[in-house]
Structure 1
Amino acid sequence: MAYIKKKNMEILKIKPLSDRVLIEPSPTENMTSSGIIIPDTAKEKPQEGIVVAVGLGKKNEPLTVKIGNKVLYGKYSGTELKFNGKDYLIMRESDIFAII
């Protein structure tokens, strides 16, 4: 098993396979710009996050994204998972729309 070291020096013990990437979603907004608190049931799912681990890619198709890239992805893309108390998304690289 490969260990991926994140920016904040925490060691992540997940290694995506093939063309999959592991993303840590950006935190959701708790308050509007005018100061209204948004309840949990009305919060939008984040559509951007930081790539924390990448697979090796497919044969003759290396991955474009790298660890540390900030990316935009579809609202319902990927599979949610919880690891060591943190939320992550694992998805194929093709589900990522852009690198910011």
Structure 2
Amino acid sequence: MAKKLNITPLHDRVIVQPAAAETKTAGGIIIPDTAKEKPQRGVVLAAGPGKKDEPVTVKAGDTVLYGKYAGTEINVDGTEYLIMRESDILAIV
């Protein structure tokens, strides 16, 4: 788990720490840096309170799957995070 963030997301926003990109295939082939895909899995670090009639269903510590181009990348203290709407999250793993 990552250290505590000093960022509080608003409304239905969530802060996600993306998982590390795969470096090796299931067959043992090493993937070069130029061919690596963005991860689509991550851990929720913080979640906002939700909208007026819709509370947020994910909580800190949940592992989630999200869309390939979901969220906005932010850099806090040299670490990359994604901030996205809860509706961009596809599933809780």
TM-score, normalised with respect to structure 2: 0.93
C-alpha deviation, 1:38, in angstroms: 1.3
Query: Equivalent residue for 1:4?
Result: none
C-alpha deviation, 1:33, in angstroms: 2.5
Task: State the distance in 2 between where 1:44 and 1:28 align.
Answer: 7
Task: State the distance in 2 between where 1:38 and 1:44 align.
Answer: 10
Q: Does 1:98 align with 2:88?
A: no
C-alpha deviation, 1:39, in angstroms: 1.6
Q: Does 1:33 align with 2:26?
A: yes
TM-score, normalised with respect to structure 1: 0.86
- Residue aligned with 1:94, SS: helix
C-alpha deviation, 1:41, in angstroms: 1.4
Query: Equivalent residue for 2:47?
Result: 54
Q: Which amino acid aligns with 2:18?
A: P
Task: State the distance in 2 between where 1:69 and 1:91 align.
Answer: 15
C-alpha deviation, 1:50, in angstroms: 0.4
Task: State the distance in 2 between where 1:20 and 1:40 align.
Answer: 30
Q: CA RMSD in A?
A: 1.2
Query: Equivalent residue for 2:61?
Result: 68
Listed as ranges, the gaps of 5+ residues in structure 1 are 1-6
Paired-residue identity, %: 61
